[in-house]
Structure 1
Amino acid sequence: MRTVETLLGGEWVRTGEWIDVHDPADVRTPFARVPALSAKDVTRAYDHAERGFAGWKRTSPFERARVFTEAARLIRERAGEIAADVTAENGKTLAESTGETLKAADFLEYYAGLARQGYGTLLHDVRPDHRTHTQREPIGVILVISPWNDPLITPARKLAPLLATGNAAVFKPATETPLAGLHLARALYDAGLPAGVLNVVTGRTAEIEEALLDDPRIVGITFTGSNAVGNRIRRRLVDRNVRFQGELGGKNASVVLRDADLPAAAKAVVAASFGQAGQRCTATSRVIVEQPVYDGFVTLLAAEVRALTVGPGTDPATTLCPLSSPKQRDGVLADLNRAVEQGATVLTGGGADTGRPHGCYVEPTVLTGVTPDMAVWREEVFGPVLAVRAVDDFTAAVAAVNDSGFGLAAAVFTRDLGSAYRFADEAECGQVAVNTTTTGWDVHLPFGGFHDSGTGYKEQGEEVLRFSTRVKTVAVHIGAPERTHG
């Protein structure tokens, strides 16, 4: 079993307590372990971050950019090793893990460039002989909490902008998938990131939650995960001046209109629904089809789903990987059983892959006969499960998309440009796709949902600077010094 150390105060440390890391393709034997830090260790992490921030905020943005550019180079150089660990701890295919690794490097490179750009705006001033501008400044020590489903790209998405703008971070990777985040930390450390600027807390959340969330030095928390946990964090912050950026749940819909290219739509929906076994926040989990093409589309959809190959992420033939853990597998199977009990029909799939009893496999599943009141239509399943409904027309389709507490992503498939733009205007979600998947947003594109899917602060692009920086307004009198009389 490999032992992987964690990063605190510029040093790689271990403890006497460990967390085992398992491969969801076969959970019988752990393949790695990481330190299980204590509450005292977490406080030490904040001590280091506080000291690290004091120096990093004054570091030249060109030096910050150099560190990030070098870290991106190292990630690309180590892509094979990193992708193998992502697959081993998460289960996704090597192709998906490699894509995630290279995208993490993209984030570092993008924010290296952004760190070099202007950081404010020159403003007109009504007073003669005055020049007024705004400037952006880092806010301080930020807690980063990332999920298990994208264990490398999510911390890269969060850490890159906040570190590039001069903040320091305490980073808590998901307990199930800590190795990917440690690879990211290793690349930044090897690239020259100063001690204390980034500290990685590997540990069991239940044992360190109070120390992690209640430290008075926290000025911001960025979190990706479930609504239940996100809302618990928000309630904990209610009387504190701490920014909260949350990327929470989704129940994303794809709409297939009667004029759509049905074979292309079926391929895109399957890619959006079953990539990473449906364990993406932007995965399509609801399909809304206009009645005249419902039967034809469902036939095409079922054929595409049945063509998927279930297997371990290390097998090049695999197109549907295992779920990330036994807990996740069992939860998805329970959701499927409840859907059938409530009246849904299993068109294909519907159970565990019994041929691999030691892995976390669920068959790719399509449900029909689904009604709006069913839990599988309204609640996030986060697995390879797709629910399909027919509607009468465009208006009913948009109403079905918006009839949700979530608002992350939606797609429409149509040949009509008017329908496409009308859908973009009327869909109540943060991302809209036309004739393409609900997944796959690039590093420079603002990302984040509406309603219960997000909290107002976007990720990615320049929009994220609203979270990781504060704006100061500076007025300079450039004329003769003003005289006072007394």
Structure 2
Amino acid sequence: MRTVEILSGGEWVTTGEWIDVHDPADVRTPVARVPALAAKDVTRAYDHAERGFAVWKRTSPFERARIMTDAARLIRERAAAIAADVTAENGKTLAEARGETLKAADFLEYYAGLARQGYGTLLHDVRPDHRTHTQREPIGVILVISPWNDPLITPARKLAPLLAAGNAAVFKPATETPLSGLHFARALHDAGLPAGVLNVVTGRTAEIEEALLDDPRIVGITFTGSNSVGNRIRRRLADRNVRFQGELGGKNASVVLADADLPAAAKAVVAAAFGQAGQRCTATSRVIVERPVYEEFTRLLVAEVETLKVGPGADPATTLCPLSSPRQRDSVLADIGRAVEQGATVLTGGGADTEGERAHGCYVQPTVLAGVIPETAVWREEVFGPVLAVREVDDFASAVEAVNDSGFGLAAAVFTRDLACAYRFADEAECGQVAVNTTTTGWDVHLPFGGFRDSGTAYKEQGDEVVRFSTRVKTVAVHFGAPEPTRA
């Protein structure tokens, strides 16, 4: 079993306590261990970040860009080893892990470029002989909390823009998947990131939560995870001047209209629903089908699902990986069981996959459920696994109503050949990401990302929108004419 150190204050350090990291393809033996920090270690990380920020905010944006570009190059050079660790600790296929690794490098390169751009606006001033402008400045020490489902790309999505803007960070990866984020930190460290600018905290949340969330030097928290945890953090910050960026849950819907290319729609929906075993915040989990094509589309959908090959992520033949942990597997199986109790019909799948060596892993069969109604829990609540619920509706208006009948608002898609319906759907779907004839999953680094309603906060991720979270705006007026008269 490999022992992995964490980065704090520019040094790679360990402690006396450890957390084991398991491969969800076979949970019998740990694959690595990372330090289980104590509260005092977390406070020390904030000490380092405070000093790192003092250096980094004065570092030339061109030097920041150079370091980030070099880090991106290192990630690409190390892609095979990094992807292997993503698969080992998360379970996703090697193809998915490699895609995540290269996308992490993309984030560094994109925000390295953004760091070199202008950072303010020249404004008209009503007074003669005045020039007024705005300038963006970093806000300080930001806490980054990332989830287990995308253990490398989410840290990259969060850390790259805030570092490009001149902030420092304390980074808490998910306890189940710390190795991927540590690869990201190592690339930045090896590229020359000054000591203290990025500090990684691994540990059991219950033991370090107070030190992690209550440090007075925190000026912002960016979090991806469940609504219950996100809302608890938000309430904890209610009386503090701390920004909160939350990317929370989703119950994403794909609409299939009667005029759609049904085979293409079935393939796209399966890709969106079952990639990473459905463990994506943008995964399609609801399918709304116009009545005239419901039977045909459902047949095509089930046939496409049944071509998926369940297996360990390290097997190149695998197209459906295990879930990330025994707890997650058991939660998804419980959701399926409850759906059946509430009247749903299993069209395919519906249980754990325990055949052969899969008996020691966290496998769930890809599942399609029919016979659901709006009140069925599986239609309304996030499952976060390889489970897809299908409903039929009468027409376009009913489909949009069904999409919007949710507390969430992250992503939705429509499949149609009618351009008018496509644009109407884009206007009427109450969510942050809308797709037409393609999947609901996340897109490129320069495209703003985030949801409405309970799916997230007003601060978007990705693109240039994200700089609103990690910068503040200062307005500067300069009088360059004759001295103004002194007033008594």
User: Normalising to structure 2: TM-score of the pair?
Assistant: 0.99
Question: Could you give the per-residue CA deviations for residues 115-143 of structure 1, whole angstroms, max 9, x where no partner exists?
Answer: 00000000001111110000000000000
Deviation of residue 481 (structure 1)? Answer: 1.5
Amino acid corresponding to residue 149 of structure 2 in structure 1: N
Of 400, 403, 412, 2:402 maps to 400
Q: Distance in 1 between matches of 2:191 and 2:203?
A: 25
Deviation of residue 244 (structure 1)? Answer: 0.1
- Which residue is equivalent to 2:66? 66
- Which residue is equivalent to 1:246? 246
Q: Distance in 2 between matches of 1:150 and 1:453?
A: 17
Matches within 5 A, 1:275-424: 275-355=275-355, 356-424=358-426
Q: Distance in 1 between matches of 2:354 and 2:85?
A: 26
Of 439, 459, 465, 1:463 maps to 465
Structure 2 residue matching 1:31: 3-state secondary structure: strand
Go from structure 1 to structure 2 and tell me whether the alpha carbon gap of 1:482 and 1:177 turns closer, same or farther (over 3 Å shift): same
Pair 1:450 & 2:455 matched: no
Moved >6 Å (runs of 4+):
none
- Which residue is equivalent to 2:123? 123
Deviation of residue 96 (structure 1)? Answer: 0.1
Structure 2 residue matching 1:453: 3-state secondary structure: coil
- Which residue is equivalent to 2:274? 274
- Which residue is equivalent to 2:196? 196
- Which residue is equivalent to 2:264? 264
Matches within 5 A, 1:43-54: 43-54=43-54
Question: Could you give the per-residue CA deviations for residues 192-222 of structure 1, whole angstroms, max 9, x where no partner exists?
Answer: 0000000000101010000000000000000
Question: Could you give the per-residue CA deviations for residues 293-339 of structure 1, whole angstroms, max 9, x where no partner exists?
Answer: 00000000000000000000011110000000000000000000000
Q: Distance in 2 between matches of 1:76 and 1:177?
A: 20
Q: Distance in 1 between matches of 2:244 and 2:333?
A: 33
Amino acid corresponding to residue 235 of structure 1 in structure 2: R
Deviation of residue 482 (structure 1)? Answer: 1.2
Deviation of residue 54 (structure 1)? Answer: 0.5
- Which residue is equivalent to 2:178? 178
C-alpha contact (below 8 Å) 2:448/2:462 kept by paired residues: yes
Question: Could you give the per-residue CA deviations for residues 147-167 of structure 1, whole angstroms, max 9, x where no partner exists?
Answer: 000000000000000011000
Amino acid corresponding to residue 448 of structure 2 in structure 1: P
Deviation of residue 485 (structure 1)? Answer: 4.5
Structure 2 residue matching 1:239: 3-state secondary structure: coil
Structure 2 residue matching 1:418: 3-state secondary structure: helix
Deviation of residue 354 (structure 1)? Answer: 1.8
Amino acid corresponding to residue 303 of structure 1 in structure 2: A
Q: Distance in 2 between matches of 1:271 and 1:122?
A: 46
Aligned Cα root-mean-square deviation (Å) = 0.5
Amino acid corresponding to residue 421 of structure 1 in structure 2: Y
Amino acid corresponding to residue 171 of structure 1 in structure 2: F
Q: Distance in 1 between matches of 2:362 and 2:229?
A: 23
Q: Distance in 2 between matches of 1:31 and 1:425?
A: 48
- Which residue is equivalent to 1:143? 143
Q: How many residues align?
A: 486
Q: Distance in 1 between matches of 2:294 and 2:389?
A: 13
Amino acid corresponding to residue 289 of structure 1 in structure 2: V
Q: Distance in 2 between matches of 1:323 and 1:251?
A: 18
Question: Could you give the per-residue CA deviations for residues 9-47 of structure 1, whole angstroms, max 9, x where no partner exists?
Answer: 000000010000000000000010000000000000000
Deviation of residue 440 (structure 1)? Answer: 3.2
Question: Could you give the per-residue CA deviations for residues 396-450 of structure 1, whole angstroms, max 9, x where no partner exists?
Answer: 0000000000000000000000000000000000000000000031100000000
Provide structure 1 residue ranges, at least 5 long, that are not aligned to the other structure: none
- Which residue is equivalent to 2:88? 88
Structure 2 residue matching 1:195: 3-state secondary structure: coil
Question: Could you give the per-residue CA deviations for residues 338-373 of structure 1, whole angstroms, max 9, x where no partner exists?
Answer: 000000000000000021211000000000001000
- Which residue is equivalent to 2:187? 187
Deviation of residue 483 (structure 1)? Answer: 2.3
Amino acid corresponding to residue 303 of structure 2 in structure 1: A
- Which residue is equivalent to 1:431? 433
Amino acid corresponding to residue 446 of structure 2 in structure 1: H
- Which residue is equivalent to 1:223? 223
Q: Distance in 1 between matches of 2:487 and 2:371?
A: 84
C-alpha contact (below 8 Å) 2:6/2:35 kept by paired residues: yes
Amino acid corresponding to residue 417 of structure 1 in structure 2: L
Amino acid corresponding to residue 369 of structure 1 in structure 2: G
Amino acid corresponding to residue 71 of structure 1 in structure 2: A
Q: Distance in 1 between matches of 2:406 and 2:203?
A: 35
Q: Distance in 1 between matches of 2:487 and 2:448?
A: 53
Amino acid corresponding to residue 449 of structure 1 in structure 2: G
Amino acid corresponding to residue 338 of structure 1 in structure 2: R
Q: Which moved more, 1:190-199 or 1:474-483?
A: 474-483
Amino acid corresponding to residue 91 of structure 2 in structure 1: G
- Which residue is equivalent to 1:78? 78
Q: Distance in 1 between matches of 2:87 and 2:75?
A: 16
Q: Distance in 2 between matches of 1:166 and 1:188?
A: 14
Amino acid corresponding to residue 423 of structure 1 in structure 2: F
Question: Could you give the per-residue CA deviations for residues 371-410 of structure 1, whole angstroms, max 9, x where no partner exists?
Answer: 0000000000000000000000000000000000000000
Pair 1:4 & 2:4 matched: yes
Go from structure 1 to structure 2 and tell me whether the alpha carbon gap of 1:134 and 1:28 turns closer, same or farther (over 3 Å shift): same
Structure 1 residue matching 2:28: 3-state secondary structure: coil
Structure 1 residue matching 2:378: 3-state secondary structure: helix
Go from structure 1 to structure 2 and tell me whether the alpha carbon gap of 1:474 and 1:375 turns closer, same or farther (over 3 Å shift): same
C-alpha contact (below 8 Å) 2:354/2:360 kept by paired residues: no
Q: Distance in 1 between matches of 2:180 and 2:416?
A: 39
Q: Distance in 2 between matches of 1:452 and 1:74?
A: 37
C-alpha contact (below 8 Å) 2:309/2:318 kept by paired residues: yes
Structure 2 residue matching 1:80: 3-state secondary structure: helix
Q: Distance in 2 between matches of 1:407 and 1:253?
A: 10
Structure 2 residue matching 1:107: 3-state secondary structure: helix
Amino acid corresponding to residue 138 of structure 1 in structure 2: P
